[in-house]
Structure 1
Amino acid sequence: MDTQPVTTQTIANSVWAVPSLARSADGTINREENAKLIKHIEQGGISTLLYGGNAIFYHLTMKEYREALELISEVPADSTLVIPAIGPAYGTMLDQADILADFNFPTAMVLPQRDVISSAGFSAGVRNVSQRLGKPVVLYLKYGNVVSVEDATALVDGGYISAIKYAVVREDYTRDDYLRALTDKIDPKLILSGLGDQPAIVHMQDFALGGFTTGCGCVFPQMSTALLKAIQAGQWDEAETIREKFLPLEQLRDNLGPISILHRATQLAGIAQTGPIIPLLSEPTEDINAQINAALETIRQSA
């Protein structure tokens, strides 16, 4: 795995894939099946893996957390950047930071929350965790204005932030005062569009963001890689054509749950046996699985 510090060039080099975490039938983390998924993503041209929401890092036990870190630090290629998540609770962040000290990940992403926090308090927690790790962290902005522009800017200026994943849902992604204010204060190349392939074009064209994350690109990594290249080349019509190909699966994720749909889609696509979805999430019904299969087939035919 790549252990070099994250830079704006690192952000631009690859789409950031956000994969599921495969488990055996008994719920334990499955090394062999995760290796299949990682290899599939890498072979599609993606060299950054972000283990966060889709991997359900929110609900790992501390024992599982160490097991997951061992797996994702050992299996990927030497050139692959791997970023694990920490949190979202402050106590969890501190305990996980102590475990992370035994590994060489160049950064970690702080999972977002919006309850029982204030902007100043959350920012203080991020600073403390960054100092405890001895390295900057990825700031995940999922809820508008929960972290103020001023506090986010101060974290960046203080050297505590390696990148920002921006994932605030909007009805119209061209109209986003919060993101505009952030990019007025912070180098936009430090910020990634964090909502998958759908808003990536708008975020990178209108706000000059440095890259984007992908969930569906874990299933179709070549398409996400092609989308990034088209955007970076300013080939907007080509980029739009690729974006639309993802719609059947993206719409299911938007309507029925992004994490559980991707977890099962990865298995139904024949990439890896992802196993059971752990609580506090639940399994898609057979009817939903049929819809996932139909979406996968539609995308295959359009590729």
Structure 2
Amino acid sequence: MDTKPLTTETISRSVWAVPSLARNAEGILDRQENAKIIRHIEQGGISTLLYGGNAIFYHLTLAEYRTALELISTTAADDTLVIPAIGPAYGTMLDQAEILLDFNFPTVMLLPQRDVVSSAGIAAAIRKMAEKLGKPIVLYLKYDGTVTVDDATALVNDGVISAIKYAVVRKDYTQDDYLRGLTDQIDKGLILSGLGDQPAIVHMRDFGLGGFTTGCGCIFPQMSAALLKAIQAQNWDEAEAIRERFLPLERLRDNLGPISILHRATELSGIAKTGPIIPLLSEPGESVQEEIAAALQQMS
């Protein structure tokens, strides 16, 4: 895997794929099936892998955490950037940091949490983790104002932030005072649109963000890679046409659960056997799986 420090050029060179994490029938992490997912994404033109919510890193045991880090770090290609997540609980971060010291990931992402936190507290945790790991952290902003613009700016200015994944849901993505406040203070190239392919055009065109993450692009990586190229070339009609191709699966994820739908869609697409979804999430019902299969067929 690529172990060089992140730069704005690194951020913009590829879509950031956020894949599922495959397990066998007994619920144990499966090296062979995860390798299939990684190879599929890489061969589709994506060279950044972010293991966070879709991989359900929230619920890994510490033993699984080490296994997962070994798996993703040794399976990815030499030029693939791999970013694992930590947290969201502070105690979990501390334990995970001890494991991360045995690896050479260039950065990690702090999973978002809305309850039992404050902006200053999140900032303090990031500083402590960056100091302990000796590397900057990816800040994931999922909830409006959980980290203030001032606190986020101070973290960037002090060199403890490698990138910001911005994923606050809006009814109208062109209207976002929180994001506008961030882009007024922080290098836009450090901020990624973190809600998949749907708002990527608005976020990059209207706010100048440096890139975007994708879930559905883990199944259709060529489409996500083409969307990034079209946006960067300012070919807006082409970009919009590609974005619309993602709608069948994106709508299911929006309405029925982005993590569980992607997990099962990855298997139904024939890419890899992803296995059971672990608690606290649940398996989509049979009728929903039929909808997923139909959406995949429509997108192919």
Letter in 1 for 2:128: N
User: Are 1:243 and 2:257 matched, yes or no?
Assistant: no
Question: What residue number does 1:101 align with?
Answer: 101
3-state SS, counterpart of residue 165 of structure 1: strand
Question: What residue number does 2:87 align with?
Answer: 87
Question: What residue number does 1:136 align with?
Answer: 136
3-state SS, counterpart of residue 213 of structure 1: strand
Separation in structure 2 between the aligned mates of residue 109 and residue 97 of structure 1, nearest angstrom? 12
Question: What residue number does 1:70 align with?
Answer: 70
Letter in 1 for 2:238: E
3-state SS, counterpart of residue 14 of structure 1: coil
Separation in structure 1 between the aligned mates of residue 122 and residue 82 of structure 2, nearest angstrom? 24
Question: What residue number does 1:213 align with?
Answer: 213
Separation in structure 2 between the aligned mates of residue 130 and residue 114 of structure 1, nearest angstrom? 21
Question: What residue number does 2:21 align with?
Answer: 21
3-state SS, counterpart of residue 212 of structure 2: strand
Matched residues, number: 300
C-alpha displacement of 1:122: 1.0
Query: Which structure 2 residues correspond to residues 1-303 of structure 1 after superposition, within 5 A?
Result: 1-300=1-300
CA shift digits 1:158-178 (9 cap, x unpaired): 100000000000000000000
CA shift digits 1:213-233 (9 cap, x unpaired): 000000000000000000000
Separation in structure 2 between the aligned mates of residue 196 and residue 113 of structure 1, nearest angstrom? 19
Query: Following superposition, which runs of at least 4 residues in structure 1 exceed 2 angstroms of deviation?
Result: none
3-state SS, counterpart of residue 135 of structure 2: coil
Provide the alpha-carbon RMSD of the alignment: 0.3
* TM-score, normalised relative to structure 1: 0.99
CA shift digits 1:72-123 (9 cap, x unpaired): 0000100000000000000101111110000000000000001001100111
Q: Could you tell me the percent identity over the aligned residues? A: 76
Separation in structure 1 between the aligned mates of residue 220 and residue 234 of structure 2, nearest angstrom? 22
* TM-score, normalised relative to structure 2: 1.00
Structure 1 portions without partners, runs of 5+: none
Structure 2 portions without partners, runs of 5+: none
Letter in 2 for 1:110: L
